[in-house]
Amino acid sequence: MALRKFLKLSAIASALVLAGCGGGDININTGSGNNGGSNGGGTPTPPPTSACPSFATQASALAGVTTPVCEIKGTITSNITLTADIAWALSGKVTVGNDNANSATLTIQPGTKVFGKSGADYLVVARGSKIQAVGTATNPIIMTSVNDMLGLSDDESAAEWGGLVLLGKAPTNKCDQAALATCQVESEGEAGPYGGADPEDNSGALKYVQVRYAGFEVIPDNELNGITFAGVGRGTTVEYIQVHNNLDDGVEFFGGTVDAKYVVLTGNRDDSLDWADGWTGRMQHVLIRHNPNNTKANRGIEADNQSGNFTAAPISKPKISNLTIIGNNFDGDEDSEGILLRAGTSAELYNIIVTGPEKMGECFEINTTETANFANSGDLVFRNSIIDCAEPFANIRDSAGNVTFNARTWFEAQPNNLVGDALLGGYIPAPNSPALGNGYNVSNNVDGWFDNVNYIGAFNGTTDWTKGWTTSLHQADGVNLTSCPAGTTEVVSLTGRLNCQLTGDITTNVTLAAGADYVLNGRVRIGVDNSTAATLTVQPGVTIYGKSGADFLVVTRGSKIMAEGTAANPITMTSVQDVIGSPTAAGQWGGLVLLGKAPTNTCPNLNNCATQAEGEAGPYGGPDAADSSGSLNYVVVKHAGYEVLPDNELNGITFAGVGSGTKCSNIQVHQNVDDGVEFFGGSVSCKNVVLTWNGDDSVDWADGWNGKMQFVLVKHDPSNAKANRGIEADNNADNFGATPISNPTIANMTIIGNTFDGDDDSEGIVLRRGTNAQLANFVITGPTGMGECLEIESTESLALAAAGNLTMTNSVISCPEPTRGNIATGISTEAWFLGQTGNKLVADRSTVLKGIFTIDTNPAKDMKTVDAFFDTVNFVGAVSESNNWTAGWAVGLDD
């Protein structure tokens, strides 16, 4: 860190010296800067031919900055305008007007950049004077450091210049209330006096203004805030402001009555929002985010009345609504925390969210008896709010350690508060977030100044009001998309980067490019059944998520999905809970359905086949055994299987009438509420399949499937959550003898059960209802309490086994209940299994598997001699330690 700072300072010095010596533009690129203008800097205006205006002096050019540089210093005693065609350098403390004398107005045009060259450079607006800094959403005003102008500031930068100070004539409890007209309170950083008797005082306007990398220690233990509001009155307009990476507080209010809307406070090292000394203003729509890199941070809110007199009047009592605080894991002398109310402050807090990662400090604390008394009396209000933190509360204790104020008990007793998951995606509430629809109407019930809202936190779930004018929240990293691909539409982001939505029937070819995340809205179908064909291409590393159980993806007959990830960049299809880091579970979205034109025994006339798939996904089946529905490679489907209709849940991946022309390898279904994969007829084959924690059967087939599989790993949830069979296999539930008979060939499969005991236990394999099968190189095992590991049912399937048509060879069963039932009179299933070539039962399962790896040396059958689809291997089961094909892309395999 020290070396990097030294190199930066050396580069700045070189750039200034060389540029000042007429050396032309000196380009310095450290690879991390934003050149003073990313995220809303506007389009630079060509350099003017005229010199600096009379109130400024020409300064050295800045390398890489196309506008001339003009320097302003001292006290400004006449009205001036800073234009966007010049970069404005502050020299020392620059004050607009003298205190209550020689008043002046500083106007700053949209897109203008004002910067400090050192920590001693800062801007003060004295009492009686004004700043009119009104930018736009596309051309914000930026106040920053010379480092930032040169592209040298980064996520760790702070304290590179002073900051902005507004001094007003509104009341503060630091002054004698009977003599407010003569109030003289000295502000921090020797900026000047503030306070007075005029709550309506007007210090001008700040709108679409960024203050970056400020907060230098002007005098020992006295750092400037990003923006200081000292005795500022409510006649001042403050909207759409951001303070980013300030050394001290983001914004601090010392008394006064000023209000603010649309405030962003990011990466600030001390408190993001601080008030004291009788502030009674209002705020709404506030986002506080500590540095996500876990850089130093303290409190989202630190609030006092007056540190020297907790009961001084007027009491600090702001009204704040729709604020979101997101902490980080910083752990130092002062941790990242949420809200601290103390030193006699009161407040009215509505629609607040406080959240953060696991190691964040307490999220809500009341300290000092005076503030606790306000809480107990009802003067301090905190309602319709959510605390979502690992350490939610801190209590007041007496000298003996006894709790005298229980923050949790008090918070939960307030109307409509929740301690639980806020379900945020970044800072935006997910569609199923409790923040949506549960807000308090502060506008109608408290104060008409507030906007009428019905949500908790700073955002309504559909509109991100920070976009276009802020810094750091929407940084592009060179791989992120800036616009949604054709066929998708942009929606509010829950993942910190571009989110693009797929809706309805997709009837043209669409590519889901890496660099964005993709949202399913309801049933999304690729193509129209056997009429309008389309191809959905999904690039490696893409994430597709569903917001609810009604969201699922269907590839219709005649269309294709080309989802080809890599081991390093698999394609993930998952739930909104997963992408925003909230608790996951089975059934949080629908799943993936492929509908093909291959044969199924549910159709008497294959040329006119239209069997309806589960979940009203659409029709499938036909005469083309070689039909292609595209390709799945390195695709992970998680947390799916929602009950679309009563007793009709979608599988993780449904293969319905899918043909052998479809490529299927390196796929996983994790934590599905119904089956992991299910084959309804068809002839598709798959290799390298992982099926983990699924709530019903892991592999299910029916209706004439005759494809092949090799290297299949099934693992029931090691926490013994709901699971049924590793394989449940049928021919046709209504006609056990229907043709074509289900008859897949499967080799190298491992099934690891658990001890779930319910209506359907965790079991191994059941073959029934007329199915046939050719099984080889299996390992089936599980703990004591697991159900039977091999069972064959129904007259038709039993007859196939007895006749030697249904086979299972070169396999190992190591289960407390290895088999169930009989194959024929006098022939148990166990005897039949042991009578097949190369099979054995093992009592000690620790000798069979080491984790997921086969360690048993049972000879394997060379399945390549059966069909060229198969690989030749020297082990039974799915995975060997020498060839762990699951590494790097599969989930849920670590107990």
pLDDT digits (tens, 9 = 90+) for 185-194: 999 888 999 9
* Inter-residue contact 422 to 355 (CB < 8 Å): yes
* Inter-residue contact 766 to 696 (CB < 8 Å): no
Query: Residue type for 106, please?
Result: L
Say whether both 422 and 522 belong to one domain.
Answer: no
Please identify which residue in the block is written with the tokens 């359905």.
Answer: 593
Residue 460 lies in a domain: no
Q: Identify the CA nearest to 196 among candidates 243, 240, 254.
A: 254
pLDDT band at 758 (very low <50, low <70, confident <90, very high): confident
Confidence check: pLDDT of 476 > 80 = no
Residues 6 or more apart from 344 whose CB is under 8 A from it? 304, 305, 306, 309, 310, 311, 312, 315, 316, 368, 370, 371
Mean pLDDT, rounded, for 405-416: 97
Cβ-in-10-Å burial (0-12, 13-18, 19+) of 78 comes to exposed
pLDDT band at 35 (very low <50, low <70, confident <90, very high): very low
Q: Identify the CA nearest to 571 among candidates 892, 890, 893.
A: 890
Task: Name the more confident of 451 and 894.
Answer: 451
**What is the structure's pLDDT at 293?**
83
Confidence check: pLDDT of 77 > 50 = yes
Q: What is the helix, strand, coil percentage profile of the chain, to 5? A: 10, 35, 55
Residue 718 lies in a domain: yes
Residue 454 lies in a domain: no
pLDDT band at 576 (very low <50, low <70, confident <90, very high): very high
Q: Identify the CA nearest to 282 among candidates 242, 326, 234, 235.
A: 234
What tokens does 274 get? Answer: 């601080």
What is the chain's mean pLDDT, rounded? 92
Beta strands in 416-559 (DSSP E): 418-419, 424-425, 428-429, 489-491, 499-506, 510-512, 517-526, 535-538, 543-546, 552-555
Judged by average pLDDT, the poorest of 75-89, 415-429, 587-601 is: 415-429
What tokens does 4 get? Answer: 């990097």
Show the domain range for 439.
2-445
- Share above pLDDT 90 across residues of the chain, in percent, rounded to a whole number: 83
Task: Name the more confident of 779 and 43.
Answer: 779
pLDDT tens string 848-879: 999 999 999 999 999 999 999 999 999 999 99
Confidence check: pLDDT of 540 > 70 = yes
Say whether both 559 and 424 belong to one domain.
Answer: no
Residues 6 or more apart from 507 whose CB is under 8 A from it? 527, 528, 532, 534
Confidence check: pLDDT of 38 > 50 = no
What tokens does 885 get? Answer: 């094909």
Task: Name the more confident of 348 and 425.
Answer: 348
Query: Residue type for 461, please?
Result: G
**What is the structure's pLDDT at 11?**
46
Please identify which residue in the block is written with the tokens 């389009």.
Answer: 43
Say whether both 562 and 439 belong to one domain.
Answer: no
Residue 711 lies in a domain: yes
Say whether both 509 and 426 belong to one domain.
Answer: no
Say whether both 506 and 419 belong to one domain.
Answer: no
What is the number of domains present in the chain?
2
**What is the structure's pLDDT at 644?**
72
Please identify which residue in the block is written with the tokens 């985010």.
Answer: 289
Say whether both 202 and 304 belong to one domain.
Answer: yes
pLDDT band at 646 (very low <50, low <70, confident <90, very high): confident
**What is the structure's pLDDT at 44?**
41
**What is the structure's pLDDT at 1?**
39
**What is the structure's pLDDT at 553?**
98
Say whether both 125 and 243 belong to one domain.
Answer: yes
Say whether both 222 and 312 belong to one domain.
Answer: yes
Euclidean distance between CA atoms 28 and 12, whole angstroms: 9
Say whether both 417 and 527 belong to one domain.
Answer: no
The pTM assigned to this predicted structure is: 0.77
Say whether both 320 and 411 belong to one domain.
Answer: yes
**What is the structure's pLDDT at 221?**
67
Judged by average pLDDT, the poorest of 237-241, 444-448, 474-478 is: 474-478
* Inter-residue contact 435 to 453 (CB < 8 Å): no
Confidence check: pLDDT of 387 > 80 = yes
**What is the structure's pLDDT at 31?**
32
**What is the structure's pLDDT at 895?**
66
Say whether both 246 and 343 belong to one domain.
Answer: yes
Look at residues 411, 430, 445 and tell me which one is the last residue of a structural domain.
Answer: 445
801 backbone dihedrals φ, ψ, rounded to 5°: -70, -45
* Inter-residue contact 543 to 575 (CB < 8 Å): no
Say whether both 539 and 428 belong to one domain.
Answer: no
Residue 194 lies in a domain: yes
Cβ-in-10-Å burial (0-12, 13-18, 19+) of 30 comes to middle
**What is the structure's pLDDT at 459?**
96
Cβ-in-10-Å burial (0-12, 13-18, 19+) of 353 comes to buried
Residue 135 lies in a domain: yes
Residue 376 lies in a domain: yes
Residue 891 lies in a domain: no
